[in-house]
A and B are shown apart, each in its own frame.
Chain A
Amino acid sequence: MRDESQPLPEPGQPDPSRRAFLKHSSALAALALTPPVALTAIDHSLDERLAAAFEQLPLQVRINGQAQQLSVEPRVTLLDLLREQLGLTGTKKGCDHGQCGACTVHVDGQRVNACLTLALTTEGREVTTIEGLGSEDKLHCMQEAFLRHDGFQCGYCTPGQIMSAVACVREGHADTPEQVREYMSGNICRCGAYANIVAAILDVKASGQKV
């Protein structure tokens, strides 16, 4: 439904209500295409958890230190779970195909692309997002270093850059500018803030602070 306070989209511009309609209708098409076999129960003697398509499965996962008991569909990615279901919109969706790093989060302390992680695979794991890194009154030292060094312009890639940068230092891959560039190559910045990002990371590393 169109929000009346918003101006009508310019001709040739995407119309948000039309987008919503397309989303809705493709969901209906998907329902019609559900393979019947996926809707039938499967042998329970196997040591597995099973579910029919469309069924919400229980998911227990710790997110930013908080135990969560959730219900998710098998096809939901960790990125969509964080953003759409939990309102943790700090983690960004850039490409949704593993190519940009904007969605970088930590799972059990390892940096991963949330857009290619199916949420159910995080059962029992510990997920940390940019919201869980520091707090509003006490930023994480990597967040402070990004501010100090102007490690961003539009800021869209920044949460992913910072999550990746923290992991990069923890892994011991931040010894030289070359090494930082290599191990940060999974985070693309369209604004080209790379030089300042590398400087911020090397600064944190040189300071010897606990990251």
Chain B
Amino acid sequence: MNPFSYARVTTPPAAVAARTQQPGSYFLAGGTNLVDLLKRGVVVPEKLVDITRLPLTAIEATPTGLRIGALAKNSTVADHELVRRQFPLLSQALNAGASAQLRNMATVGGNMLQRTRCAYFYDTSLPCNKRVPVQAGPDKGQPNGPTGCGALGGYNRMHAIFGADAGVAAPKCIAVHPSDMCVALAALEATVVVVGPKGERRIAFRDFHRLPGDNPRQDTTLGADELITAVEVPANELAAHSTYLKVRDRASYAFALVSVAAGLQLEGTTIRQARLAMGGVAHKPWRLFEAEQFLRGKPATLATFQQAATLAMKGAKGYGENDFKLTLAPNSLVEALTLATTPA
């Protein structure tokens, strides 16, 4: 690990100022992703700004829902009484992620900004457009490895089936965003509260993460000198019929091959409202807007769920090893919807 300097801040403005003054600095929260990336030389910071002491850990009810501080630990959020009662989907998704130890370290803000688990991204000797600017051309001796996407035509079993080709002639990156929590937050239509040098700003969750397009280095729309301070989750009527389904290679402690966050509001057997998002399938938590709209007003039956799944798969594309997701994803969606409508 390269040496770096270290600063501990205790107020959000001091955190933003530290970051603005030294562009080569990074915020350090739980460290579960960043320290890993430092050890592998993927991130080479000049300075770490330790934000773990910022007073941003509260989880509190607001007139419109729940506000969760960016430095709240994943385990604390998952087990919090208000979260479990109002947003069981969020609680389930958090508990499906990582391990008990890692959830005790990981924060809400860090979870949103965790990098992809694409193996090429983590190995600086292999080509990756996410580590190196696309414009840089073939390896010109950048310290951070050669360009190109190793996963295209390579090992891509874990990779995306949606959105990689949006806005570009050919995909530059087929990585997925690995978070479970974010899939739930997408379905729950959360808002991200951030503060930067110009003050506070709010970002709708659907606009927070981005598709790779021409610039796969950029995972989100967060500015380089902005600090996430909180996430707000609006109250909803989905708690009674929600499920987070995670399909993975082993029963626990593995990233999702495909995951589904499903929340339904039912009136008798009629679907009043549906919120659906998938993980493990795209560069961002993948909302299924069309399927949601289709389900509104329909009976909660297997046949409807299957039709919704067919709609949801429009535009999906496999890249070889991950072709199985073209079948696994719709099946998982039907399964999640079935579980959500089954009384506990």
**A binding-site residues for B, Cβ under 8 Å:** 30-31, 33-35, 37-38, 42-43, 46-55, 57, 73-75, 77, 96-98, 101, 104, 110-113, 116-118, 120-121, 123, 164, 167-168, 171, 173, 181-187
Contacts and interface: CB of A to CB of B under 8 A. Distances in A.
A173 B18 contact: no
B46 interface: yes
Given A98-B36, A121-B31, A112 B5 contact: no
Nearest to A29: B2
Given A118-B35, A186-B253, A74 B4 contact: yes
Contacts of A118: 6, 28, 31, 35, 48, 50
Most chain B CB atoms below 10 A, which of A51, A54, A118: A118
Nearest to A33: B2
B3 A30 contact: yes
Contacts, number: 140
Contacts of A43: 17, 21
Contact of B252 (A101, A104, A116, A185): A185
A186 B31 contact: no
Contacts of A113: 32, 101-102, 105
Contact of A120 (B3, B50, B75): B50
A46 B99 contact: no
Contacts of B5: 38, 42, 50-53, 55, 74
B201 interface: no
Contacts of B30: 116
Contacts of B14: 46-48
Given A50-B7, A74-B4, A118-B31, A38 B46 contact: yes
22 contacts: A34-B2, A38-B24, A42-B7, A42-B47, A43-B17, A47-B11, A48-B7, A49-B6, A50-B6, A55-B5, A57-B6, A77-B35, A98-B102, A112-B104, A116-B30, A118-B6, A118-B50, A123-B8, A171-B100, A173-B100, A185-B99, A185-B100
Nearest to B122: A97
Nearest to A54: B3
Contacts of A121: 28, 31, 50, 52
A54 B1 CA distance: 12
Contacts of A186: 98-102, 253
B6 A168 contact: no
A113 B50 CA distance: 18
